[in-house]
Structure 1
Amino acid sequence: MPVPSVAVVAFNHFSPFHFSVPCIVFGDVLPGHKLFDLKICAGEPGEKRSRQGFSIDTSFGLEELAQADIVIVPYWRDPAEKPNQELLDVLVAAHRRGALVVGLCLGTYVLAYAGLLDGRKAGTHWEFEQDFVTRFPRVHLDTNALYVEDDRLVTSAGTAAGLDCCLYLVHREHGRAIANKVARRMVIPPHREGGQAQFIEQSVPVSTRDANINNLLDYLRNNLNKAHSLDELADYSLMNRRTFTRHFQKATGRSVGAWLMSERLQRSQELLETTSHSIESVAELVGFQSAASFRQHFRSRFNVTPTEWRRTFQAGSVH
């Protein structure tokens, strides 16, 4: 089966960091397992040099954008400068034929100049939010998102959020397990949720600074299928109920109920992506009293059904 093709657009005065992020993530990041077919494409005539002295030499041009499954604009040199019309037209055509079009950091400006983001949600670097809103009032800018997807248009906040966005795209194409393998290979945290409404999910720390609470979290993660009362958990932690709830809130930043709900929903995502269990079985395995309750909470949190999540993210794994 052919792997998704990725075209990364290069410009003069490019940012070495922003440009390197998609090149690393979509390059040969897992030796022996080709996940994407990556090409660097000239987005304009002339030299492609960074202000630090790096240069790019590529034989691929805008014609590659007409064939790529994913087109990535990793940065833009000047928010006040409109990119060349040929590039903007090619981006519009790529989106129309079904490609995923991505703007990382100030690359969001390029998609906005193309008119692709009109009436849609988007994200960009926080320092440029007011400028962006002034220039593109028809775009619904999400000022809190790490990354946003709206109708096959993916945009990210600044700098390191581009890594999160690219890992999200790996997740989107190959599933959570592969995205986490890529993250481990790059020695960065596993991909963080964040962006479109259904993907907003605050990161839940694996551990806290409270060793007693950490032991409890391990216990809960191994027993998500069971019902838990505050009194039971306080006894388990050798505290009275009031002291326990205060320690838990301080350590995790959440109430016990909110933490459990987040963990159950996150675990359900993993099961939906990596197993063929029925929705009823997944609900039972993560501790919901009924499939109906599970569906209700899942849709409320992610704005999609469990079945829709599975359809989007279930993919084969690389061993």
Structure 2
Amino acid sequence: MQVTDNRKQITVGVFILLGLVIFVLGVFTLGSQRKAFVKSFTVNAVFSDIQGLKAGNNVWFSGVKIGTIKKIQFYGISQVQVFMNIEEDAHKYIHKNASASISSDGLIGNKIVVISGGSPKFPFVEDGDQLQVANTLSTDDIMKTFQVNNKNLVDVTSDFKVLAKNLVEGKGTAGALLADEKIANNFKAIVENLKTTTESANRMAAEMNTFTKTLNTKGGLADKLMTDTAVFAKLQQSVNELQKTAASASAMTENLNKATAKFNQTDNAVGLLINDQQTADRIKGIMKNLETSSQKLDENMEALQHNFLLRGFFKKKAKAEAAAAAPQK
């Protein structure tokens, strides 16, 4: 009977001991998860909306858990102050200009606080410092943005539906192009003409390029004109001579103009002959009289040759002229 009681006591003691071991292990396990036994310091941040953040949620830095939310309390009129326990090991990475923002642990996970390190130009944070807050879009803001985008998408879809209907019915320029075969053919012809024009322009550009290369050929006229000073000097001299010739021709033309201008005037012999009909008639009469006198003189000379007094004289003269004209032997 006594042995049985001792066994019961031993059994109860063993269960109590196991329970204590399990309890202690649980305490240390939870404490290690929440890092309750790690040396830490406290910082805080004031948010306008903590989006469901709770005490005990994690604090992250560069994707690494460095602490937990210690306490949450109201601050001012409508803000919330969040106190965070941060591991001492992370102290050397967080500067006074670091910022805190609220995010999610995964797509639909618990809310967390994310801390950015700040600039190395600033000193490290100290226990009790307040971090500045970086504003981020909340889930509600994202949903509102989605709603606006959905509404815009519905509007665009409606407009596209109307546009497609007009295109099918042949309304508007685009609809006419799709529905009217004649307009489509005309548009196609315009495109073909534009293509031909473009090809011609390309050919012209290629020919121009070839021509310019020819101008740059060593020893050519254009090359000599641009590079040989002697050829350029001769060309310039020729141009000067041409200018002088042109000036002389201009002077001669001016003199001819002055001379022909006098033909229309009556203060000179030529102009009087050309413009005065009475003078012209007198000169004609004089010329006619001279012609008549010449004929009469010829008749008188012929009569003198047949006169018996002068006949011997004219015969001697004719013989002398014949002798002079005869070839000498």
- TM-score w.r.t. length of structure 1: 0.18
Q: Which has the larger radius of gyration?
A: 2
TM-score, normalised relative to structure 2: 0.18
Q: Greater relative contact order (Cα 8 A, min sep 6): structure 1 or 2? A: 1
- In terms of fraction of residues, the more helix-rich structure is 2
